[in-house]
Structure 1
Amino acid sequence: MTKTTGTQGRSEKQNPSALDNFKPLIVDVAAPLGSYYLFRDALGMSTFAALAWSSVVPAVRTGWGLVKERRTNALAGLILVVNVVSLLLSFVSGDPRLMLAKDSGISSTIAIGILVSVALGKPMMTAGMKPFLVKGDAAKEAAWQRLTSGAAADSAAFRSKERAFSVVWGVALLAECVVRVVGAYTVPVDTMVWLGSVIMVVAMAAAFMVSGALAAGPMERMLAAEVKAGAETAVGQPALAVAA
């Protein structure tokens, strides 16, 4: 019985569920953003209250990273900063068009943060993409490390695609912000209330498709090739040792 349980446990670690793969993005981005709209639109809270309560998750994540893990969580920290700034802006006039435009500020701040992270050589979206590609597999994890460290033949191409993935998301979110701000001041308010959500969904869908085709797909193939190369090298090493 114990042996079977151990085997199942290892199997679950090597083959995590889709939820495990997307957990970083769900916790750092989807949870605070989703809770904001839930508190504001579904539960009828004020913008200030909704922002305050939706700040709990990123605040806890950021604090945990600093105190326990001794590192910062970029996405969680960025969401926290956005919420704090939005809380301050909530004291501004209650003009409905201004409120609609202000909602897009979250996307723009995240977009700018992502693009800056690429410029600094630490693409922010990698945290959400890596679990999806590695899937908890030790061989893929080792291959990822070789590719990102420069030790593999395809390292340069792999890191270029890694940056491209974040750039696509940064540009998509920034474009979504611009479109929503323009719409907030040109489209009737009642129309923009639902149209804003449509614009956001379209931008997200486009980012998924483009980033997958330009970056995630090629990275997955390079990762598989590096896993194969690593396995072949490991098999050849004992033979070389015997010959020596």
Structure 2
Amino acid sequence: MTVNVNRRLAALGPILLDMLAPVVSFYVLHFLFGVGPALALTAGAVVAGLRGVYRAISERRIDAFPLMMMVLLAVSVALVFLTGDPRLVLAKSAVTPIAGGVYGLVTSLFGRTVLYDVLTPFVTHGDAGLARRWDRAWDTDPAFVRCVKQLNVLWGIGFILGGTARIVVVYSVPLEIGVLAGLVPTVLMVGGLVLATWLRRRPLTAVLRPARPVPEVASAV
């Protein structure tokens, strides 16, 4: 169980680091050491990007998602120094959930949804029996598939709206406030989506219960 929890947290690590590192570096470097806002924000973003580079080198492979994040980082850092607008670092962090939301909506039309894959380790806990029931439900239970697809669309739309709201907030308030206030839409969005998923949990958890054996009817003598 602990191993599975650690894997889930590790999967969320790059996204959390991408969002939080610029915030921490801004307040520490800018307010404590007087570093300019553009450099203070960029420093945290670069630290988050270096983690992806280190992982790619150590594992000798580059996955699509970390590669996308590193490309976004390189583009945003270049634009910051070309335009002098440090808000681009914060806006870059909003592009990731927007792109993820669009990708999630697309998967609702083709094969298994991205939410199905995301939920799998959370609901099966690495148990082979639960994994078989979970997979079988997707192949044989229309109500289950419909529930997963509805939630997938909800998460996709939520991520797009949350990322867009983050950009609006960042560019609507002073930078010193926007660095932290830009996290609010993301926190509210994730909290609302988790609650919505929990409220719709019955069709998802029902398929994990073992089928009850059909009682044998004693033949009349």
Q: TM-score, normalised by structure 1?
A: 0.66
Q: Structure 2 residue aligned with 1:37, among 9, 20, 23?
A: 23
Q: Structure 2 residue aligned with 1:214, among 196, 199, 203?
A: 196
Aligned match of 1:232: 211
**Root-mean-square deviation over aligned CA pairs:** 3.3
Q: Alpha carbons of 1:172 and 1:50: their partners in 2 closer, same or farther (altered >3 Å)?
A: closer
Contact 1:65 1:72 in 2 (8 A): no
Write out per-residue CA displacement over residues 97-123 of structure 1, whole angstroms, 9 at most, x where no aligned residue. x323x1332233113311320243176
Alignment of 1:33-112 (within 5 A): 33-43=19-29, 46=39, 47-61=41-55, 67=61, 72-74=63-65, 76-94=66-84, 98-100=85-87, 102-112=88-98
Q: CA deviation at 1:50?
A: 3.5
Aligned match of 1:194: 177
Write out per-residue CA displacement over residues 40-71 of structure 1, whole angstroms, 9 at most, x where no aligned residue. 4425672444433321222344567773xxx8
- Residue 211 of structure 2 aligns to which amino acid in structure 1? E
Q: CA deviation at 1:127?
A: 5.9
Asked if residue 160 in structure 1 is aligned to residue 150 in structure 2, the reply is yes
Q: CA deviation at 1:83?
A: 0.8
Q: Alpha carbons of 1:23 and 1:52: their partners in 2 closer, same or farther (altered >3 Å)?
A: closer
Asked if residue 180 in structure 1 is aligned to residue 162 in structure 2, the reply is no
Please give the alpha-carbon distance, in whole angstroms, between the structure 2 residues aligned to 1:198 and 1:40. 13
Aligned match of 1:205: 187
Please give the alpha-carbon distance, in whole angstroms, between the structure 2 residues aligned to 1:65 and 1:73. 14
Please give the alpha-carbon distance, in whole angstroms, between the structure 2 residues aligned to 1:159 and 1:52. 36
Q: Alpha carbons of 1:180 and 1:38: their partners in 2 closer, same or farther (altered >3 Å)?
A: closer
In the alignment, structure 2 segments of 5+ residues that lack a partner are 217-221
Write out per-residue CA displacement over residues 73-116 of structure 1, whole angstroms, 9 at most, x where no aligned residue. 42x2332222111121122243xxx323x133223311331132
Q: Alpha carbons of 1:131 and 1:73: their partners in 2 closer, same or farther (altered >3 Å)?
A: farther
Q: TM-score, normalised by structure 2?
A: 0.71
- Identical residues among aligned pairs (%): 14
Please give the alpha-carbon distance, in whole angstroms, between the structure 2 residues aligned to 1:125 and 1:88. 33
- Residue 82 of structure 1 aligns to which amino acid in structure 2? L
State the SS of the aligned residue for 2:186: helix
Contact 1:172 1:203 in 2 (8 A): yes
Please give the alpha-carbon distance, in whole angstroms, between the structure 1 residues aligned to 2:19 and 2:44. 10
Q: Alpha carbons of 1:176 and 1:210: their partners in 2 closer, same or farther (altered >3 Å)?
A: same
Please give the alpha-carbon distance, in whole angstroms, between the structure 2 residues aligned to 1:127 and 1:62. 22
In the alignment, structure 1 segments of 5+ residues that lack a partner are 1-10, 240-244
Contact 2:101 2:160 in 1 (8 A): yes
